Amino acid sequence: MANFESPVRLRLDSDALVSNWRTLAKMSQSASTGAAVKAGGYGLGAREVVQRLSQAGCRDFFVAHWAEAAVIADIVPPSQISVLNGITSSDIAPAIDLGAVPVLNTPDQIANWRAAGGGLCHVMIDSGINRMGLGPEQISTDLLRDLDIDILMSHLASADEDVPQNGRQLGIFRDAASSIKARRRSLANSAGITLGRDYHFDLTRPGIGLYGGIARSELQHSIRQVAFPSARVLQMRQLRTGDRVGYNATFICPHDMKVATLSIGYADGYLRAFSSVGHVVVNGLKLPVIGRVSMDLLLVDASLAADLHEGDWVDIDYDLSCASQLTGLSQYELLTGLGNRFDLYWS
Ligand SMILES: *Cc1c(COP(=O)(O)O)cnc(C)c1O
């Protein structure tokens, strides 16, 4: 097949990724620091992320699915890969073969793993998110007897807010941890790391912060943007006062203006929530998105960009915390939603 250059690019900054991991590792103090690389490294490419973080010294990688573990199992020792979403009976044989470690979440998962002679495992305690893991009422010495538990973990529901739920979850996790034998204990995600030493235990599990997401304001000045989308200019036109722009004419030119049509749209993950609120950047100038975002196309007011021409590349303003505030999309959605039409470049 002919090798066409994609008109949408995603530049990924290796230095920023590694710097973010180091920042979170430093804030984790004496705890070691892993990396959540589920959903293909939050959409940026699991293999590339794992290679870089492994080189920087990261030794614990968290994925959601077994297929995601298989994708990275030739890059790091499989024992460094944890599969958060547990294990079904049909996954057990290939899982043991692969050698990644399941996070056991339910009594059934524990029973099946034990019956299969699965060996080393992790166990998730549900301390109050009520999503995955053993509820405190399900924990018993009988249930966990003879399990070789590496990481005993739990997950915070609201670490990005200052709410009493954080302290309650900490207490419940501590209680559980005092009665369960495990090699390591782990509670904090990116936001949880900022809650202080009490929340760090032996291992922290940041995700969004690695990829440039600002989980809490404490991280605002130390976390760097990692993902930089850009798109090609497909067409430039001069429009007149009163001209209607895009689907359903949600923008009407208030004056004569130069409009650029860019090759990016909601099929690339640049969702309609950016309609009339997003920006692109050309030579340091912010050009506003006008009208509705289409599936494959985006319109911007390019009146200020005298030198912009058909074929040029334009940077999409994708500062995650600003974009999240503008659109109401979460920083997680903004990253993991990026589509598969991008050419990815690690710099
Ligand atoms: C996704 C996930 C993380 C990482 O969370 P961030 O908010 O992205 O830092 C940590 N632990 C578990 C169990 C997760 O599912």
DSSP 93-113: HHHHHHT-EEEE-SHHHHHHH
Cβ contact 284:307 at 8 Å: no
Count CB neighbours of 130 within 10 A. 9
Name the DSSP letter for residue 202: T
- Model pLDDT for residues 264-291, shown as the tens digit of each residue: 999 999 999 999 999 999 999 999 999 9
Cβ contact 25:34 at 8 Å: no
- Ligand 1: which atom is nearest the Cα of residue 208? 8
Residue 180: the pLDDT is: 96
Is there an atom of ligand 1 within 6 Å of 52 CB? no
Q: Report the phi/psi class of residue 105: left, alpha or beta, with left for phi > 0 and alpha for psi in -120 to 50.
A: alpha
Q: In whole angstroms, how far apart are CA 96 and each of 50, 74, 120?
A: 21, 15, 10
Count CB neighbours of 183 within 10 A. 13
Supply the residue whose CA is at minimum distance from atom 4 of ligand 1: 207
Residue 129: the pLDDT is: 97
Position 1 pLDDT exceeds 90: no
Count CB neighbours of 152 within 10 A. 23
Take residue 16 and report the two structure tokens written for it: 């920023």
- Model pLDDT for residues 144-193, shown as the tens digit of each residue: 998 999 999 999 999 999 999 999 999 999 999 999 999 999 999 999 99
| CA 119–ligand 1 middle distance (angstroms) | 24
Q: What percentage of the chain exceeds 90 in pLDDT? A: 99
| CA 141–ligand 1 middle distance (angstroms) | 27
Q: What percentage of the chain exceeds 70 in pLDDT? A: 100
Is there an atom of ligand 1 within 6 Å of 103 CB? no
- Nearest C-alpha neighbor of 282 from the set 237, 313, 318: 313
Supply the residue whose CA is at minimum distance from atom 15 of ligand 1: 84
How far apart CA 184 and CA 51 sit, in angstroms, is 24
Is there an atom of ligand 1 within 6 Å of 206 CB? yes
- Model pLDDT for residues 17-51, shown as the tens digit of each residue: 999 999 999 999 999 999 999 999 999 999 999 99
Position 248 pLDDT exceeds 80: yes
Q: What is the pTM of this model?
A: 0.97
Residue 2: the pLDDT is: 84
Is there an atom of ligand 1 within 6 Å of 86 CB? no
Residues 6+ apart with CB under 8 A from 340: none
247 is catalytic: yes
- Model pLDDT for residues 43-92, shown as the tens digit of each residue: 999 999 999 999 999 999 999 999 999 999 999 999 999 999 999 999 99
- Ligand 1: which atom is nearest the Cα of residue 332? 8
- Ligand 1: which atom is nearest the Cα of residue 206? 9
Q: For the residues 282-309, what does the mean pLDDT come to?
A: 97
How far apart CA 190 and CA 132 sit, in angstroms, is 19
Residue from 38, 42, 199, 266 carrying the catalytic annotation = 38
Is there an atom of ligand 1 within 6 Å of 207 CB? yes
Is there an atom of ligand 1 within 6 Å of 28 CB? no
Determine the residue type at 347. S
Position 140 pLDDT exceeds 90: yes
Q: Which of 49, 203, 205 has most ligand 1 atoms within 8 Å of CB, for mutation?
A: 205
| CA 214–ligand 1 middle distance (angstroms) | 14
Residue from 26, 42, 211, 247 carrying the catalytic annotation = 247
Q: For the residues 231-258, what does the mean pLDDT come to?
A: 98
Q: How many CA atoms lie within 13 A of 189 on its CB side?
A: 20
Residue 16: the pLDDT is: 98
| CA 273–ligand 1 middle distance (angstroms) | 25
Q: Which of 189, 204, 211 has most ligand 1 atoms within 8 Å of CB, for mutation?
A: 189
pLDDT level of residue 344 (50, 70, 90 thresholds): very high
Supply the residue whose CA is at minimum distance from atom 13 of ligand 1: 155
| CA 180–ligand 1 middle distance (angstroms) | 22
Q: How many CA atoms lie within 13 A of 226 on its CB side?
A: 30
| CA 277–ligand 1 middle distance (angstroms) | 29
Position 212 pLDDT exceeds 90: yes
**Exposed/middle/buried for residue 234 (C-beta within 10 Å: 0-12, 13-18, 19+):** middle
Phi then psi for residue 42, to 5 deg, are: 50, 35
Is there an atom of ligand 1 within 6 Å of 205 CB? yes
